[in-house]
Amino acid sequence: MRSAGRFGPPDSVSVAGQCIEAGNRTVGVFFDVVPGTTTLRNVRSVTVSDGQPYAGSLDTLLLRRRLYLLDQAMRRTKARSDSAGLLRGPFVIWPRGDSIQAWVIPLNVLTGTAVGGEQGFRYSSNVRTMVGEVDAFAKYRPIAVPTSGTFKIESLEEEMPLLSEVLVANRLNNRGLTVTIVTHRYTSTLAGQGGLASLWVHMPRK
Single residue among 98, 128, 144 that ends a domain in this structure? 144
Q: How confident is the model at residue 38 (pLDDT cuts 50, 70, 90)?
A: low
Q: At 42, which amino acid appears?
A: N
Number of domains in the chain: 3
| pLDDT number for residue 116 | 97
pLDDT exceeds 70 at position 97: no
> Is residue 3 a part of any domain in this protein?
no
- Report yes or no: 73 and 90 within 8 Å, Cβ to Cβ: yes
> Is residue 2 a part of any domain in this protein?
no
Domain that holds residue 192: 146-206
pLDDT exceeds 90 at position 12: no
- The reply to whether 54 and 76 lie within a common domain is no
- The reply to whether 136 and 80 lie within a common domain is yes
pLDDT digits (tens, 9 = 90+) for 113-140: 999 999 999 988 777 888 999 999 999 9
Distances (CA, A) of 141 to 58, 112, 133, 161, 171: 39, 11, 20, 14, 17
| pLDDT number for residue 94 | 66
| pLDDT number for residue 51 | 84
Alpha-carbon 129 to chain mean position: 22
> Is residue 5 a part of any domain in this protein?
no
> Is residue 1 a part of any domain in this protein?
no
| pLDDT number for residue 15 | 67
CA distance 133 to 119: 8
Give the residue from 92, 89, 87 showing the smallest Cα distance to 69: 92
Long-range contacts formed by 124-128: CB under 8 A, 24+ apart: 124/98, 124/99, 124/100, 125/97, 125/98, 125/99, 125/100, 127/65, 127/68, 127/69, 127/100
- The reply to whether 22 and 98 lie within a common domain is no
Rounded to 5 degrees, what angle do the CA atoms 184, 190, 193 make? Answer: 170
- pTM for this one? 0.77
pLDDT digits (tens, 9 = 90+) for 128-180: 888 999 999 999 999 999 988 999 999 999 999 999 999 999 999 988 899 99
Residue 68 DSSP SS3: helix
Mean pLDDT lowest among 35-39, 65-69, 186-190: 35-39
What is the rounded average pLDDT for all residues in the chain? 86
> Is residue 69 a part of any domain in this protein?
yes
> Is residue 172 a part of any domain in this protein?
yes
| pLDDT number for residue 145 | 92
pLDDT exceeds 60 at position 96: no
Q: Between 77 and 61, name the one with better pLDDT.
A: 77
pLDDT exceeds 80 at position 74: yes
Q: How confident is the model at residue 95 (pLDDT cuts 50, 70, 90)?
A: low
Give the residue from 109, 90, 86, 91 showing the smallest Cα distance to 165: 109
Range 11-28 average pLDDT: 79
